[in-house]
Amino acid sequence: GRLWRDPARDRRRVVGRARGLGRLGPDRGLRALDRLPSAFRLETAGRLVGTSSVALRTSFRVEARDALGNTGTRQLTLQIVERLVITTGELPWAAFGAAYDQPLAATGGVPPYVWSGTGLPAGFAVLPVGRLIGTSTSTSSGTVRLLVRDSAGLVATATRAFSVIFPF
């Protein structure tokens, strides 16, 4: 199993549930067989609870026990990632009638990223790989909204001014 946490919301409690250990009878208990990060604890009901303001990745084994004494073990991974942030700054203007290709950038989260955008002028698109491309057939000025999603489902958005001008 895998448990995710984004420390963008600094020092918030992490609560995850250890799942996928199989069917156990009633009155089961759960315990960590390996050392957990110092700010975390595993409750017998299967909840992993803790607080972290730094990124980390650690694996640990847990053991589940039912009322009949049957046990099962599973390796779990806890990954806390840096906040997903769009780092692309101001977008360069596009020249009317000319091809435009601008890379987009983000940090944090869990790559790979998938990009999208809204509010783009006609003839422009954001490619899922993180490029703003297009050729304009008219001048315009406005705001575009960029969105990036990482492989863990974290999302970041940013609004940027974007203009298509007639070159001098």
| CATH, residue 42 | 2.60.40
Q: Same domain, yes or no, for 69 and 93? A: no
Q: Are residues 74 and 109 in the same domain?
A: no
The residue from 80, 96, 121 where one domain ends is 80
What would you measure as the largest C-alpha separation in the chain, in angstroms? 82
Residue 93 shares a structural domain with residue 135: yes
**pLDDT tens readout for residues 48-94:** 888 888 888 889 998 888 888 888 899 988 888 889 999 999 999 99
Q: What is the pLDDT of residue 45?
A: 75
Domain of 117, in residue numbers: 85-165
In the prediction, which pLDDT does 8 show? 47
The pTM is what? 0.68
Q: What does the pLDDT look like over 79-132, one tens digit per residue?
A: 888 899 999 999 999 999 999 999 999 999 999 999 999 999 999 999 999 999
CA angle 104, 109, 113 (to 5 degrees): 45
CA dihedral 133, 135, 139, 143 (to 10 degrees): -10
pLDDT of residue 1: 45
145 φψ region: left (φ > 0), alpha (ψ -120 to 50), beta (else): beta
Listed residues 80, 112, 138: the one ending a domain: 80
Asked if 49 and 37 count as a contact pair (C-beta separation under 8 A), the reply is no
How many structural domains is the chain composed of?
Answer: 2
Same domain, 72 and 94: no
Q: Is the pLDDT of residue 31 over 70?
A: yes
Which residue among 80, 112, 134 closes a domain? Answer: 80
Residue 89 and residue 75 share a domain:
no
Q: Say whether both 34 and 74 belong to one domain.
A: yes
**Pairwise CA distance, residues 120 & 100, whole Å:** 13
